[in-house]
Structure 1
Amino acid sequence: MAEEHTVMLHGMWASPFVKGVELALKIKVITIESVEEDLQNKTPELLSFNPIYKNVSVLIHSGKPICESLVILENIN
């Protein structure tokens, strides 16, 4: 049951877009599990959650992905 409501964020430490999403989630007091991505060797999870653009930021909530930082920010507001 706890896995059902986990929030994961696939990102890269140097991305300002990921940092913006992390900051917004901290302000909203939403606990996340961060998954650090290497953009040269992307994980299969990232490629399956964002198969078209294959980039970070990807927020996964209850197994459903939300891609692109601006879309994520709109959805957590």
Structure 2
Amino acid sequence: MCLAIPGKVLDVQDGGGLFARGRVDFGGVIREVSLVCTPQVVVGDYVLAHAGLAIAVIDEAAAARALAEFARLGTLLP
């Protein structure tokens, strides 16, 4: 089983094709992720990321629900 974490896209760096990257905010932790599987993503979108790869674009409500559940379970730091 894998776990994907929702985060908000802060910027997009179009490196072309396999090199598209962006900075994503995961509840205050900012990481660079590959956007190769989500070429339609724009700044402000929410993505699900697994192992440094954004695998899906989701809406803000879905991201908020997931983050609230992680917080409820105590799996994310405040």
Q: Is the TM-score greater than 0.5?
A: no
Which of the two has greater strand per residue?
2
Higher relative contact order (CA 8 A, sep 6+): 1
* TM-score, structure 2 normalization: 0.33
TM-score, normalised on structure 1? 0.33
